[in-house]
Amino acid sequence: MNYISIRNNQTLRIKEIPESAYLSFMDMNVGLVSGFTDRHCVNYFGVEEGNFVKLICCIADDATHEIMVSSCKVQKGQSLASFSKEMYCFERFEREIHENFGLNYPDHPWLKPVRYPADRSDKMQTMQNYPFYTIASEEVHEVGVGPIHAGIIEPGHFRFICNGEKILHLEIQLGYQHRGVENLFLAKKKLLQRTTLSENIAGDTVVGHSVAFAHVWESLCGVDVSRDIAFSRTVALELERMAIHIGDLSAICTDIAYQLGSSVFGRLRTPIVNFLQEWGGSRLAKGLIRPGSNPFPFTPALAERLKKVLDLLEPDYNEMCEKLFDLPSALSRFERTGVVSNEDAIAIGAVGMAARMTSLSRDIRSSHPYCLYPELAHVPILKHHGDVYSRVQIRRREVLQSMEYIRKLLTEVPIQSPQTEMKMTLQPDSFCLSLVEGWRGEICHCALTDANGELMHYKIKDPSFHNWMALALAVRNNEISDFPICNKSFNLSYSGHDL
C-alpha cells in the first residue's frame, strides 16, 4: 500500500509521504475506510503548488493507533472522480477542496460551497445567490432561520422544508463566521500571534485547539515537553469538558422550559470557569496553553483549591441530574427525539459525542492518546440510541468521568520544571499532524513547513466539520419545535467550522 503510517503528533519529512496517481490514491483511501468502523478520515485537504494541488489524505486507525498518510498531485481546475460517491464521509472535504482550488468532482453527490472563503476559486458564487435545495409541492412549506438566531449564539442559516409541523429536510448553510484563520496562521509570523489565533478558532474550545496547536508546534520543532506541562494540559482539557457539558445541560433545560435545571446547571458551571480564572487569569482559559512553556504552573495550592471546588460541586450536580433524569416531562422530550442511526453516523464519519451516542467508539483519548491520557487508560462512554437522551446521558457521565480523572491526577502534582526560554525552530520540509479530543470530539491540526523552515500550510479541522451533517439528519421527521433541543444537544461550532 502506498501510504506511510505515523503516530499522533509525529513529524515526518514531506517527501516521505508516498505519492500515487489519483485513481489508485482514491481506491486506496476509500478502501482503507470502507467496511472498517475503527478507521475514519481525520483530514483530507489540498496544498497549492503552483499550477498543481497536492492532496493529502489522513486516515486514522483506532485499533492500531496509527494514522495513514498518503498524497497525490493533481492539476488545478482538473475534473476528478469523487471519493464521496463511494464513501460519503469525504463529501465535505471534497467540497472544501473544490471551493478552494476549483477542482471538479462531476460525480460528487452535492458539490455545494462550504464557507465562501475570501480567496475562493469562484468569486461568482456568493452567499446571496446560493440556490437552496427545494421540493416542488403544494404540500410543503419552507422555514428560513438565521443567520442571526434568537439567542446569543453564533450565526448560521437553517433552511427547513416542512410538511405541516414535520421536518422533511434541513439544509444548513454556514460560512458567516469565516475570518480566514488558516491564512492568518501564515500571514502572522510571531509564535505568540499564532498561539493567540489558535485560542480564537473556537472560543468554547480554547484549550482543545490551543493544545492541538502546541502539539504541532512542539513536534515540528523537535521539542519534548516536561511532565508538568502535559499534566496542566490534561487537567485543562478535562476542566473545559466539564464546564461546557454542564453549561450545555443548563441550555438543554432552557430549551425544554425546565427553569430549575437551567438555573442550577447554569450556576454549577461557574465554579469551574472561575477556577480556570484563578489558575490562568481567564475564565475560558485563554493565555493558559503555550507551546514549549507553562506560563501558569499548576501548584499544590491550586490542587487543594480544585479538590475543594469539585467536592462542593459533585453532590449538587448529582442531585440535579437525578432530578432531571427522573422527570417524565423532561424524558419525554429527550427520548427518541433527533435520532441518528449507527449506519448514518459511520457513513458521515461522525466523531466525538455524535459518534459515541450510537455505540460508535471514537475518542482520541483512548485511540491516539496524548498528554497524560495513556496513564489514565480512558474508556469512552457509549450510548446506543443516537437520540437527544443519549447525548444528554453522555454529558452527564462524562462530567463525572472528567471529575474522576482530575482527582486521580491531583493525587500526584508533578514538580515544576525550571522555566527556561527554549529556542524553537521549525524543521524544514516537514509535515505534522496532531489529534486532540476536545469536549466536542476530535480536533485535527496539520502543518507543513517549506525549505526555509517557515510555515507553508496550516489546516484546522474542528469536530463540527463532520458533525453538522449529523444534526441535519437528526431532525428529519421530527417536529420543527424540537429543533432547538436537537441543535443544543449537538452544540456544534460555527466559528470552528467556518475558520
Partner 1 sequence: MLSNLKIVLHQGKQYIASPTTVEVPGIFRGRPVISTQKVDETKLVEMCPTDAISSHPLCIDLGKCTFCGACARLFPDKISFTKEYKMATNDRERLIIKEGEDQAIEVNPDTVRKEIHRVFGHSLKLRQISAGGDNSCELELNAANNVQFDMSRYGIDFVASPRHADGIVITGPITQNMAEAVQICYDAVPDPKIIVLVGTDAISGGVFEGSPAIDRSFLDKYPVDLYIPGNPAHPLTIINGLLDLTRKKR
Residues that bind partner 1 in the complex, under the rule CB under 8 A:
115-119, 127-128, 147-148, 150-155, 175-181, 183-184, 187-188, 190, 192-193, 195-197, 200-204, 206, 247, 260, 263-264, 266-267, 270, 273-275, 277-284, 286-287, 295, 315-316, 319-320, 322-323, 493-495, 498
Q: Which is nearer to partner 1, 121 or 183 (CB)?
A: 183
* Distance, CA of 123 to chain centre: 28
Closest contact distance (angstroms) between CB of 320 and partner 1 is 6
Residue 115 sits at φ, ψ, to 5 deg, of -145, 5
* Distance, CA of 232 to chain centre: 21
Closest contact distance (angstroms) between CB of 261 and partner 1 is 9
CB 340 within 8 A of CB 352: no
Closest contact distance (angstroms) between CB of 498 and partner 1 is 8
Closest contact distance (angstroms) between CB of 450 and partner 1 is 22
Cell of 64: 492500531
The DSSP 8-state label assigned to residue 458 in this structure reads E
Closest contact distance (angstroms) between CB of 176 and partner 1 is 5
Closest contact distance (angstroms) between CB of 121 and partner 1 is 15
Q: Which is nearer to partner 1, 59 or 273 (CB)?
A: 273
Q: Which is nearer to partner 1, 92 or 383 (CB)?
A: 92
Q: Which is nearer to partner 1, 275 or 458 (CB)?
A: 275
* Distance, CA of 488 to chain centre: 16
Q: Locate the DSSP E strands across 15-86.
A: 39-49, 52-61, 66-75
Q: Which is nearer to partner 1, 10 or 121 (CB)?
A: 121
Q: Which is nearer to partner 1, 373 or 483 (CB)?
A: 483
Closest contact distance (angstroms) between CB of 318 and partner 1 is 11
Is residue 414 packed enough to be buried (19+ CB in 10 Å), middle (13-18) or exposed (0-12)?
A: middle
The DSSP 8-state label assigned to residue 442 in this structure reads E
Cell of 102: 476549483
13's enclosing H/E stretch is: strand 11-13
Q: Which is nearer to partner 1, 261 or 386 (CB)?
A: 261
Locus of grid cell 462524562: 398
CB 19 within 8 A of CB 73: yes
CB 113 within 8 A of CB 125: yes
Q: Residue 496's beta-bridge partner residues?
A: none
Closest contact distance (angstroms) between CB of 220 and partner 1 is 20
Q: Which is nearer to partner 1, 150 or 377 (CB)?
A: 150
Nearest to 12 by CA among 224, 292, 216: 216
